[in-house]
Every structure is written in structure tokens, then in C-alpha cells.
Amino acid sequence: MTDTILDEAAVAAAWNRNADLWTREVRHGRDLYRELYTLPAFLAFMPPIAGRRVLDLGCGEGSNTRSFARHGGVMTGIDLSTEMIERARQEEAREPLGISYQIGSFSELAPFGDEDFDCALSTMALMDGPDLGASLRAAFRVLKPGGTLCFSVLHPCFITPAIEWLTDGTGAHLGLRVGRYFERTPFVEHWRFSRRDGTEGQAPREPFTVPRFPRTLSEYVNAVIDAGFRIVRIEEPRPGEELARRHEWLGRWYRHAPLVLFVSAVKA
């Protein structure tokens, strides 16, 4: 797939292939970073959404969308992957939370009108689309004045195309080496959720295939500003101290570098 053009069709195809395994793993709680670290931190970071019309950009199979619905948001999810949306709709039919799911790109948001939403949330998805500028302009269009955009992405300064944990002889983490920060060439990454002990394992039998679009921190921040938003808060959350003490695979993100970047911005 390295010679393939990484456009939205390639992104959709990759996530269609990932959908079955992804859905099974997420729903069995095997995405430990989400369970213990990134989702609790995002729920604490996002604005109050009870009674608000909220759009989830790149909702996938809908686990986080359902969590937002349980926090009172009147939820709509959109995703490029027909397979992901099919699974999200099946779950909504099984346990209705009043969520509407649409197939489409968050770089257009074609199913929605101007100023349809009070809030746009997105977890770990905007980094997976090729056109960040268009995605943020589309989010701006569908938000009401005063509406909030709040998203998480892999931290662009630390999850660069070349990263390596530095360890001592005992396996303790000494730091994170990052490289190729300025590289902008999209690439395809193969990975899997960590095992229970947090190790990534070797030779995964069923890897996820994810097109990646590396961007610098300034590109993220400037794209939000250029779309017309006013940034109100940025956070680089750490795992909880107690969890970090208990699990070394979280402790390394507590001590050395944040895994994710959160941005909150308003349509002034």
C-alpha cells in the first residue's frame, strides 16, 4: 500500500478493513489507553454537553459517541467508513441512545446545514484525514456562533514518524526519542492495541492498517485559527498518578511525554 495515493478513498478502505477487529477489541475494553487514560481525560476536558446538539467527527463504531450521549449530548456521529457506521447503527438499534449516524467526510460535512450544532467533538480522528484545513472549516460552518470545537489527536510533537522508547537494562523507561518531526509525507502504519501488560507485542496476526498524515504542532494550531476559531484551551493530559505507579506502560507517558493533545476552540 506504500505506493497508493493516500486520499480519503484509501482512508475509507483502510478503516473498512479495520472495522470488524476494531469494533470487537474496543467493545471488549481492549483499547487500554482509551479506557484508562485518553477517554477519562477527554470527558473532563470537553465542555458541558447536556441538552446540546453535538456532532462527533470521525465517530468510528461509536463507543465514544455513546459515552457522550450518556453525558446528555444529543448526538450525531459521522464517519467515512461505511463498515464502522454499520456497526455503530447496529449498536444503536440494540441499545437506543437517540444517536443518529451518517456516512460522510468530516472535511465536507455534506449531510449538515450551516449552524446545525452547538458543539463538535472529535476523538483521535482528525489526524487520520488528509485535509485538516477543510475539516476545520467544515466544523466551523456547521457550528452555531458561540459553539465549541473540542478534539483530541496523537500529540504531534511526540508521536512523530520515528519514535523509540529509551530503556535501561531493567526495562525502565528513561525517555522518548523522537525523529522526523518535520516530515509531511503520509504513510501507512500497522499496529494493534497493546496487551494487558501494555507491551505492543511482535508479529501481530491481525494488525490495524491506518493511513497517517504527520503534521507539526504549529500546523494544528494555525489550522484551527485559520478556520476562524478562537482557541480557548489546550491540554496535554497525563495518565493519573496512581495508574502511572501501577502500570509502567502508562508511567512512561506520565513521566516523559504526553501521548495526546487536546484543543478546545470557539466559533466567536
> Using CA atoms, how far apart are residues 240 and 20, in angstroms rounded to an integer?
31
What are the backbone angles phi and psi of residue 237, rounded to the nearest 5°? -70, 150
Contacts 24+ apart (CB under 8 A), 185-192: 185/214, 186/6, 186/130, 186/211, 186/212, 186/213, 186/214, 187/2, 187/6, 187/161, 187/211, 187/212, 187/214, 188/1, 188/2, 188/4, 188/6, 188/14, 188/212
CB nearer to ligand SAM: give 12 or 176: 12
263 is a site residue for ligand SAM (CB under 6 A): no
b or e along 162-188 (b: 16 or more beta carbons within 10 Å of the residue's beta carbon)? eeeeeeeeeeebeebebeeeeeeebee
Contact 227, 133 (CB under 8 A): yes
123 is a site residue for ligand SAM (CB under 6 A): yes
63 is a site residue for ligand SAM (CB under 6 A): yes
Binding residue for ligand SAM (CB under 6 A) from 6, 80, 99, 120?
Answer: 80
Please choose, out of 56-64, 212-220, 223-231, 232-240, the segment that lies near ligand SAM by the rule CB under 6 A: 56-64
Shortest reach from residue 124's CB to ligand SAM, in Å: 5
> Using CA atoms, how far apart are residues 180 and 53, in angstroms rounded to an integer?
40
Shortest reach from residue 188's CB to ligand SAM, in Å: 13
Please choose, out of 57-65, 156-164, 183-191, 257-265, the segment that lies near ligand SAM by the rule CB under 6 A: 57-65
64 is a site residue for ligand SAM (CB under 6 A): yes
76 is a site residue for ligand SAM (CB under 6 A): no
237 is a site residue for ligand SAM (CB under 6 A): no
Please choose, out of 76-84, 158-166, 218-226, 254-262, the segment that lies near ligand SAM by the rule CB under 6 A: 76-84
Shortest reach from residue 64's CB to ligand SAM, in Å: 5
Within 10 angstroms of residue 3's Cβ, the number of other Cβ atoms is 4
Binding residue for ligand SAM (CB under 6 A) from 58, 73, 147, 251?
Answer: 58
Using CB under 6 A as the criterion, which residues of the chain lie in contact with ligand SAM when the complex forms?
8, 11, 15, 58-60, 63-64, 78-81, 84, 105-107, 123-125, 128-129
